[in-house]
Amino acid sequence: MAHQGGKAFGILKNKQESELMEINNQYLQSGDWDDVEELELKLESYKNQFIEYDENNSGDIDIMELKRMMEKLGQAKTHLELKKMIAEVDTNDSGTIHYHEFLTMMLGKKNSILKIILMFEEKKKEKELPKGLPPKRALTDLP
């Protein structure tokens, strides 16, 4: 059995990235999402998230990839919970989450379990804890 080498994997990864960038451009040009603040930044962030979790670069996040994604985020789920999470966003009944479905979920008004978890994780990353000693405070500073 031939094993896929690093070069082939790199080509596959680049192909997927350019396909996802093309989809991002469609979202930017469609006008449907013009009311979303910082749309271009969000699309770039979602593309990177999707690539990270689409481990086999198939263009879809399947149930096992979703399972590993939830485990990485410290949110382990049962098989039934994972199936429900996919069903919430799977508009074409493929049993997987395609990038279009992922973007519609992340940009849309409707909340899904997966969207809430991913948004929560993004917020956790943003908060950088202050470094160094806490500032000196007097009793008069207390409320």
Distances (CA, A) of 136 to 113, 128, 130, 132, 141: 42, 21, 14, 12, 10
Assign 5 a pLDDT band (cuts: 50, 70, 90): low
**pLDDT tens digits, 33-83:** 888 899 999 999 999 999 999 998 888 999 999 999 999 888 899 999 999
Interhelix angle 113-126/99-107, nearest 10 degrees? 70
Enclosing H/E stretch for 7: helix 6-30
Cβ neighbours of residue 86 closer than 8 Å, sequence gap 6 or more = 63, 66, 95, 96, 97
Q: Residues 6 or more apart from 4 whose CB is under 8 A from it?
A: none
pLDDT, tens only, 79-137: 999 999 999 999 999 999 999 999 999 998 888 888 888 888 877 766 656 677 767 77
State if pTM tops 0.95: no
- What CATH number was assigned to the domain covering residues 13-116? 1.10.238.10
pLDDT for 128 equals 59
